[in-house]
Amino acid sequence: MESEVNVIALVKGDQRYMFLFDDSNRDETLRTLARFAANPELDFSWYDAAMLSRKIRETLPEPFPQSTPTRIQSSLRDQL
């Protein structure tokens, strides 16, 4: 199965920031945002890092919903 590549970008004035990531390097991408925000030579703020981090976290796949057992399932389980 192929890995899906995600792209997130920020344009601030003359500077452009593009981040490409997949599920295997999502955490490293989040750390990179923090390093960029901490770099005084870049026009990349902690606010920028927070907004992009939120967007990256939104790309996480939704977990399967937890189903609650029906009365019949609960009844059967109690009998075991």
Q: How many angstroms separate the Cα of 64 from the Cα of each of 7, 61, 67, 68? A: 25, 9, 9, 12
Q: Are 50 and 42 in contact (CB under 8 A)?
A: no
What pLDDT, on the 0 to 100 scale, is given for residue 4? 86
- For residues 26 and 69, which has the higher predicted lDDT (pLDDT)? 26
Task: Please report where in the chains the tokens 């389980």 appear, as a residue.
Answer: 77
pLDDT tens sequence across 33-71: 999 999 999 999 999 999 999 999 988 765 556 666 566
**Rg, the chain, Cα only:** 21
Q: What is d(CA 14, CA 4) in angstroms, rounded to the nearest whole number? A: 29
Q: Where are the domains of the chain?
A: 6-63
